[in-house]
Amino acid sequence: MSQRSINLNDDEQKAILAGKLPDSVVKKLTNLVRPKAKRYAKNKGAGFQKDCADLIANLFGLVWDNTNDHSPIKTRPMGSSGTDLIMQEPLYSQFKFDVEVKNVESLSVPATVEQASANTKPGRDWLIMWKRKSFKEPVVILSWSAFAKLFKKEKP
């Protein structure tokens, strides 16, 4: 059985300690034990993959189309192994990151870093794009060495 948690505000906690179960707590518990539809989670993830492809394409002034085999960037089908975004040349050479996309409220950073590292090709760096409801925009996670490369000055 998996462990799950809910967040209770101060009033809800006081009510429980007083022996009352507020409607808000009943609703949270009901949502917690209700199984989530796998399709919903996959659609949510696939939607964020497309958003990430848009963000990267816009950085380089590119237009992409997931149905075009020659598109500079494509999203990997849900459940497939490998990086979540597939890039073609010249974008592949210009954007030196293999991307792992996560659209979850709670992220296991060590497990995600391990997954991203395992999917990264030699000579490239991994990059994690993470979205959750409370973020105003996606967050990017990358290793220090990859971050430092962005600021290294090339010697003449």
Question: Can you give the CATH number for the domain in which 124 is found?
Answer: 3.40.1350
Q: pLDDT, tens digit, for every residue of 108-149?
A: 999 999 999 999 999 999 999 999 989 999 999 999 999 999
Write out the residue range of the structural domain in which residue 117 sits: 38-149
**List of residues 6+ apart from 86 with CB closer than 8 A:** 73, 74, 75, 76
pLDDT: is 24 or 50 the higher one? 50
User: What pLDDT was estimated at residue 1?
Assistant: 44
Tokens of 29: 């518990």
User: Does 155 map to a domain?
Assistant: no
User: Does 27 map to a domain?
Assistant: no
pLDDT: is 112 or 46 the higher one? 112
User: Does 31 map to a domain?
Assistant: no
User: Does 15 map to a domain?
Assistant: no
Mean pLDDT, residues 8-24 taken together: 80
User: What pLDDT was estimated at residue 107?
Assistant: 92
Q: What are the φ/ψ torsions at residue 34 (nearest 5 degrees)? A: -70, 125
User: Does 24 map to a domain?
Assistant: no
Tokens of 127: 């990059």
User: What pLDDT was estimated at residue 123?
Assistant: 92
Mean pLDDT, residues 26-41 taken together: 68
User: What pLDDT was estimated at residue 12?
Assistant: 79
User: What pLDDT was estimated at residue 13?
Assistant: 78
User: Does 132 map to a domain?
Assistant: yes
Q: pLDDT, tens digit, for every residue of 50-106?
A: 999 999 999 999 998 888 888 999 988 877 788 889 999 999 999 999 999 999 989
Our count of domains for the chain comes to 1
User: What pLDDT was estimated at residue 41?
Assistant: 61
User: What pLDDT was estimated at residue 53?
Assistant: 92
User: Does 44 map to a domain?
Assistant: yes
User: Does 128 map to a domain?
Assistant: yes
Per-residue 3-state assignment (H helix, E strand, C coil) for the chain: CCCCCCCCCHHHHHHHHCCCCCHHHHHHHHHHHCCCCHHHHHHHHHHHHHHHHHHHHHHCCCCCCCCCCCCCEEECCCCCCCCCEEECCCHHHHCCEEEEEEECCCCCHHHHHHHHHHHCCCCCEEEEEEECCCCCCCEEECCHHHHHHCCCCCCC
